[in-house]
Amino acid sequence: MEDIKILSARFGKIKPDSVEEYINAGGYEGLKKAVTMQQEEIIEEMKKSNLYGRGGAAYPTGIKWEQAYAVKKDPKYLVCNADEGEPGTFKDKRILAEDPLLLIEGMTIGAYIMGAKEGYIYIRGEYSAIQRIVKSAIENAKKAGYLGTNILGKGFDFDLHVVSGAGAYVCGENTALVESLEGKQGRPRQKPPYVKNCGLFQMPTILNNVETYSCIPCIVNVGGERYSSFGTEFSGGTKLLCLSGNVVNRGVYEIPYGLTIREIIYNLGGGVKDGKKLKFVHLGGSSGSCLPESLLDTRICYDDLKKNGLSLGSGAVLVVDDSNCVVDYLKAVMEFFEEESCGKCTPCREGNQRLLELLEKLSQGRGTLADIEKMKSIAQTMKMTSFCGLGQSAPTALVTLLKYFENEFIEHTAGKCANGKCSMNSKGVN
């Protein structure tokens, strides 16, 4: 397998906000080519590329852009989701910090297609130093004629603004992000209408993840078909994965679609740390599913994952070794969701609190089999009725761990935590 670096090629090799160094390292070829093409042509290439959104929901980007392009309403906006709030995810950070002009180029191509004059990059509040780098890159791109007015002398204008995130995980949800950009509370909106039809200031809006935009220059440059061929038949290109947890080599890796999870953990990641055994992998961040050893040979590509009831989410691969207890692990996950629920809808606001309550009972040795059934029932209600993706996916880890490790939960009802992680204080164990 060839070692393809599309997104990470310049990481650490150039001064991130230098247009000159960016161009010398192959930058802006995509935009230069794009402005010689028809808008529909570029969208066609994107569709051929099999590019799926890299923010988590994996919606086909070409189709999204085609639909937004077809909306006859002005002005249109471009928004970049750089909120990167999913635990275990730190890939957008690398692009923003080490090659922000790639993102800017991708958005500028988008603006050329949509005729958008204004774009926003909504960057996680904690990334304040990185916000400065991105702002500087924007200024430099303007000075060099790649952004601002009359871009590349082609008579189109596009300006970009950096907006600092409001500090809530839910602000990464696309409609909540738009609300937050409008200066309102970051709470999701009812869909439909969708952002592509009626987004920022009620105008058609293209909203994509940092990594998604960053794929566009290459797609334009090498063509959709060629780009797609880097990945599998149904999942085009490459993906940044964030390897973390009990693994030897943590970090961000750019991989072509098609590698197996095992290859990633053992070949790239150097295996489980401290010679321990792998217990499960939490894929796609806290909102993703947990898979056991037996599924490690699943390939990273949307179809194969889906067949096994998994999804890639943001690209987080968190390795959990066998010294961990599933109940204890889940408690931390559910604490996160309990706090991050925006509080708008009942199933998520209340459900997360109750799941945590029942997990705590289990961890204290007071849990019962009925509690386990109740957890399944609440999880199902949350999944089926929550207003947005946060509540719908919050119980995913719980549901999958219950599926693969139910015995361990049952043991807890008998007052036993094999890993010795739970205090079991009510029964005097430990």
Ligand X SMILES: Cc1cc2nc3c(=O)[nH]c(=O)nc-3n(C[C@H](O)[C@H](O)[C@H](O)COP(=O)(O)O)c2cc1C
Secondary-structure breakdown of the chain: helix, strand, coil percentages, each rounded to the nearest 5: 45, 15, 40
Which residue matches tokens 């709030």?
A: 85
Least separation in angstroms between residue 288's CB and other proteins is: 18
Q: What would the x/- binding string for ligand X be over residues 77 to 106, using CB under 6 A?
A: ----x-xxxx--------------------
Backbone angles phi, psi at 120, to 5 degrees: -130, 135
Give the integer Cα–Cα distance in Å for 170 and 195. 16
Both structure tokens of 10: 């310049």
Rg of the chain, C-alpha, whole Å: 22
Q: Which does 208 bind (CB under 5 to 8 A by kind): other proteins, ligand X, ligand SF4, none?
A: ligand X
Least separation in angstroms between residue 353's CB and ligand SF4 is: 11
Q: Which does 219 bind (CB under 5 to 8 A by kind): other proteins, ligand SF4, ligand X, none?
A: none
Both structure tokens of 294: 């037996």
Contact pick of 49, 50, 140, 212 for ligand X (by CB under 6 A): 212
Only segment of 172-180, 225-233, 244-252, 327-335 that touches ligand X (CB under 6 A):
172-180
Does 383 sit near other proteins (CB under 8 A)? yes
Contact pick of 342, 359, 401, 417 for other proteins (by CB under 8 A): 342
Does 338 sit near ligand X (CB under 6 A)? no
Question: Which residue intervals of 2-90 are DSSP H helices?
Answer: 19-24, 29-34, 39-48, 61-70
Backbone angles phi, psi at 279, to 5 degrees: -100, -55
Residue with nearest beta carbon to ligand SF4? 391
Give the integer Cα–Cα distance in Å for 430 and 422. 8
Does 174 sit near ligand X (CB under 6 A)? yes
Least separation in angstroms between residue 200's CB and other proteins is: 20
Distances (CA, A) of 364 to 91, 223, 407: 37, 57, 17
Which residue matches tokens 């869909």?
A: 191
Q: Among candidates 284, 307, 287, 285, which has minimal Cα distance to 297?
A: 307
Compute how many other C-beta atoms are within 10 angstroms of the C-beta atom of residue 430: 11
Least separation in angstroms between residue 177's CB and ligand SF4 is: 12
Least separation in angstroms between residue 169's CB and ligand SF4 is: 8
Give the integer Cα–Cα distance in Å for 330 and 325. 9
Nearest to ligand X of 84, 328 (CB atom): 84
Least separation in angstroms between residue 367's CB and other proteins is: 12
Per CB under 8 A, residues contacting other proteins are 168, 170, 185, 187, 190, 338-347, 349-354, 357-358, 361, 374, 377-378, 380-381, 383-387, 392
Give the residues lining the site for ligand X (CB under 6 A): 53-57, 59, 61, 81, 83-86, 169-170, 172-174, 207-209, 212, 388-390
